[in-house]
Amino acid sequence: MEKLKVIWFQAGTCTGCTISLLNSSSIKVKNLLLDEIVPGKIISLIFQSTIMAGSGEKVIEIVKEESEKGNFFLVVEGAISTKDEGIYGKIGEKTFCEVIFDLAKKADGIICLGSCSSFGGIPKASPNPTGCKSVNEILEEKNIKKMLINIPGCPPHPDWFIGTISKIMTLNRIELDELKRPIDFYGKLIHENCLRRPFFDKGKFAKSFKEEGCLYLLGCKGPYTYADCPLREWNGGVNWCVKNNFPCLGCTEPEFIEKNIPFFKKKEIEKIGE
Ligand code: SF4
Ligand code: SF4
C-alpha cells in the first residue's frame, strides 16, 4: 500500500479550516484517514494538532524524524506571524517562520488550506499587529521554491481539499490559476452560476434583506469571486451563502478581508465575468 505522508501545521488560525474538513459529508474524515482514497493509496497523517492524541516533545520529535526522511506533503493552516522575529507564534520553541522554512524545504509540495495561509486572510487585515503574511510571501522572501497550492476560503469547502489531495494522489499534478488555486474548484465566478443572476441581468436589486432580487447593492462580491459554491453548495449540498439570502463575502479572493469590508456595502464592479 502506497502512503502519502502529510504533516499538517497550524499557524495563526481559528481552526475553522480543520472544523470544515471534519464536517465533510461526501467523504467522511474517518474514510479520508483510514481508507484508500484512491485505489492502493492511503494518507498517513503524521501531525495535526487538533485531532491527534499525542502532544509535547514526543510529537515534535516524530515530526522532525519523519520530515528528515522527506517524501511528504506539508499542509499549512493559518497565517504566519513575522513581526519582532516571529515571537507571536511559536510551536516546539520555534517560531512559525522557522518551522515553515524547515518543513517547506524538505516537503514534496505545500498545500495552503484556507485564506489565512493562502493570502493572509483575517490575521493580515489592518492593523495586522503581529505582521502576519501568507506562506507564499514568506517563502518568496527566502527564495524557497516549492510546488505550492492555495485552497482559500474562510473556511474552504471540504471537497476543495479532498478533491485536490485525491487528484495529487491519482495524477501527481493539478491545474492551477494564476493565484495557485485549483481550476477544478476556483475556475468560475460565483456570479456566473448564481441562482439570482436573472435578477442582476434584469436590474432587479434587493435594497434590504426582505426584498426579492440580486444582492449586489447589499454588498455581494460574487461578480469577482472565483469558487464553485453555487454548484457544489455547502453542508453536503444543502445551501450556500446567496441561497441563504446572504451576499457572497468574497472569501476565496486575496482581497478578503481587508478590501471587502464593510461587507454589506456595494463595491463597484470594474469588470464582470460572463
Ligand atoms: S451579484 Fe451576487 S447575488 Fe447578484 S447575481 Fe451576482 S453573485 Fe448572485
Ligand atoms: S459564496 Fe462567497 S463568501 Fe460564501 S463560501 Fe462561497 S466564496 Fe465564500
- Would you say residue 273 has pLDDT above 60? no
Cross-strand pairs, 7: 47, 74
Q: Which residue has the higher pLDDT, 270 or 192?
A: 192
Architecture category of domain 188-274 in CATH: Irregular (4.10)
Closest-CA residue, ligand 2 atom 8, reads: 251
- State pLDDT tens for residues 157-175: 999 999 999 999 899 899 9
* CA angle, residues 80, 83, 89, in degrees to nearest 5: 45
With the most atoms of ligand 1 within 8 angstroms of its CB, the residue from 190, 242, 252, 260 to mutate is 242
Active site residue 97: no
- Would you say residue 118 has pLDDT above 50? yes
Say what the pTM is: 0.95
Architecture category of domain 2-183 in CATH: 3-Layer(aba) Sandwich (3.40)
Q: Where are the domains of the chain?
A: 2-183, 188-274
- State pLDDT tens for residues 41-53: 899 999 999 999 9
Rounded distance from Cα 21 to ligand 2 centre (Å): 16
Rounded to whole angstroms, the Cα distance separating 77 from 115 reads 9
Active site residue 112: no
> Which residue among the candidates 112, 116, 132, 157 is catalytic per the annotation?
116
Domains 2-183 and 188-274 share a fold: no
What is the CB < 6 Å shell around ligand 2?
153, 190, 225, 227, 229, 240-241, 248-249, 251-252
Q: By C-alpha distance, which of 268, 244, 250 is closest to 196?
A: 244
